[in-house]
Amino acid sequence: MDLDRTSRISADLHFGTLSVRDAFQAAERKLQRSHPDALTRFHTELLWREFAQHWLIERPALLRETFRPSFSGFPWQEDEHGWAAWTQGKTGFPVVDAAARELLATGFVHNRARMISVSFLTKHLLIHYARGEAHYAKWLVDADLASNNMGWQWSAGTGCDAQPYFRVFNPITQGERFDPEGDYVRRYVPELRALPTKYIHAPWRASAAVLRAARVTLGETYPHPIVDHADARTRYLLVAQTHLSEAKT
Ligand SMILES: Cc1cc2nc3c(=O)[nH]c(=O)nc-3n(C[C@H](O)[C@H](O)[C@H](O)COP(=O)(O)OP(=O)(O)OC[C@H]3O[C@@H](n4cnc5c(N)ncnc54)[C@H](O)[C@@H]3O)c2cc1C
C-alpha cells in the first residue's frame, strides 16, 4: 500500500478513455520478454474486471442481493457510531483510517486497503456491505457498478469466489505486512507521523513515554480503537455461524 506499484488505470478503463484491449496489448509488448511474471499478474487483474462485468450482466440482481443465497437476511447491525468512525477515518486502527482518508482526499484506495476496510466494516462492525459499497461509489474516481459490487461482496464473504466468511483480516498484521515501514499510514494519518514504526499500526501498544515523545494522546489527538480486534472477530464468527446454520435448516 505504501508503494506506487500498480497501473492506476481503473478510472480510465471505467470511463472508456483507455480501451482494455489496448491496455492488455501494451502490457504484452512492454513486459512479455523482460517481466513475464508481472505481465501475467497484470493480465490477471484485467481479467478480474472482466469477471465482475460478466457476473453483473449475468445477474443484475447482485446490486440488491447477496451472491450467496445463504447470506440473505444476514443480521447486519445499525451502528451509527461505528459508521461515522469508519467513514471519517477515526476507528483507532491506523491502516483502516488511512484507507478511509485516502478515499476522501484522493478518490482512490489501494486494492489491499479496500479489502482491509471492507473486512473491518462488515466483520468487525457488522455493518451491511451495501452501505459501504454506496459510500465507495460516491467517492471513488474509478467507481464501477460491477467491480465495486464484486469487491465488496468478495471481501464481505457474501460474494462469488468469496474469501471464506471465517477469514477476518487483522488490521494490525495486515498493516505490518503491507505497509511495513508505516509510510502509508503516515501519509494519511499525519497525527501518528512521529510514532516509531514498531507502533505505527497499533499505537495503543506504545508506552506513555513513547506516545508523549511522538505527541500522540490517545482519545485526544488520535482515537482509542473503537473495538477490540479479538472480541470483534469472535462476535462476527458467532453471528455468522449461527446465521449460516439456521439458513441451512
Ligand atoms: C471493496 C472493493 C471495491 C472496488 N471497487 C472498484 C471500483 O469501483 N472500480 C474498479 O475499477 N475497481 C474496483 N476494485 C478493484 C481494484 O481495487 C481496483 O481496480 C484497483 O485498485 C485499481 O487500481 P489500478 O488501476 O492501479 O489496478 P492494477 O492492479 O494496476 O490493475 C489493472 C486493472 O485491472 C482491474 N482490476 C484489478 N483488480 C481488480 C479487481 N479486484 N476487481 C476488478 N477489477 C480489477 C482494474 O480495471 C485495474 O485498473 C474494488 C476492489 C475492492 C476490494
Q: Are 137 and 100 in contact (CB under 8 A)?
A: no
Q: What is the pTM of this model?
A: 0.97
Beta carbon of 149 within 6 Å of any ligand 1 atom: no
Q: For residues 32 and 72, state if they share a domain.
A: no
Same domain flag for 50 and 91: no
Residues 228, 115 within the same domain: yes
Residues 211 and 112 in one domain: yes
pLDDT at residue 109 in the model: 97
Those residues with Cβ within 8 angstroms of residue 71's Cβ, 6 or more apart along the chain or in another chain: 157, 158, 165, 243, 244, 247
| Longest alpha-carbon distance in the chain | 57
Q: Domain end: 58, 76, 95, which one?
A: 58
Q: Are 47 and 129 in the same domain?
A: no
Give, using CA atoms, the residue closest to atom 49 of ligand 1: 10
Supply the CATH number for residue 169's domain.
1.10.579.10
Asked if the structure places residue 3 within a domain, the reply is: no
- Report the atom number in ligand 1 closest to the C-alpha of 145: 8
Distance 211 CA to ligand 1 centre (A): 36
Question: Which whole-number Å values give the CA distances from 163 to 32, 157, 159, 168, in the listed order?
Answer: 30, 6, 8, 9
Q: Which residue's CA is minimally distant from atom 26 of ligand 1? A: 8
Is residue 12 classed as helix, strand or coil in its secondary structure? Answer: helix
pLDDT in tens, 163-185: 788 899 999 999 999 999 999 99
Closest CA to 172 of 96, 68, 224: 96
Q: Is residue 5 included in any domain, yes or no? A: no
Tell me: do 109 and 197 sit in the same domain.
yes
- Looking at the structure, tell me whether residues 93 and 216 fall in a common domain: yes
* Pair 105, 133 in one domain: yes
Ordered DSSP codes for 59-115: -GGGGTS-SSGGGTT------HHHHHHHHHT-SS-HHHHHHHHHHHHHS---HHHHH
Atom of ligand 1 nearest to the CA of 9: 25
Residues 6+ apart with CB under 8 A from 245: none
Q: Whose CA is nearest to atom 5 of ligand 1?
A: 148
Structural domains in the chain (count) = 2
SS (H, E, C) 150-198: HHHHHHHCCCCCCCCCCCCCCHHHHHHHHCCCCHHHHHHCHHHCCCCHH
Same domain, 217 and 155: yes
83/164 same-domain check: yes
Pick the residue whose CA is nearest to atom 6 on ligand 1. 148
Give the H or E element holding residue 113. helix 111-119
Per-residue model confidence (pLDDT) at position 162: 64
Say if ligand 1 is within 6 A of residue 7 CB.
yes
Q: Is 2 within a domain?
A: no
Q: Is residue 82 part of a domain?
A: yes
Classify residue 168 by burial, with Cβ atoms within 10 Å: 0-12, 13-18, 19+: buried
Which residue's C-alpha comes closest to atom 24 of ligand 1?
8
Nearest CA to ligand 1 atom 12: 147
**Judgement on whether residues 93 and 195 belong to the same structural domain of the protein:** yes
- As a whole number of angstroms, the distance between CA 139 and CA 109 comes to 10
Tell me the best of 139, 142, 155 to mutate to test the pocket of ligand 1, counting ligand atoms within 8 Å of each CB and taking the most.
142
- pLDDT at position 139, please? 98
d(CA 173, CA 147): 26
Asked whether residue 209 is assigned to any structural domain, the reply reads yes
Residue range of the domain that includes 45: 10-58
Q: What is the pLDDT of residue 195?
A: 98
Q: Report pLDDT for 223.
A: 98
> Would 4 be classed as within a structural domain?
no
Low-confidence ranges of the chain (pLDDT < 70): 162
| Cβ of residue 138 lying under 6 Å from some atom of ligand 1 | no
In a shared domain, residues 149 and 194: yes
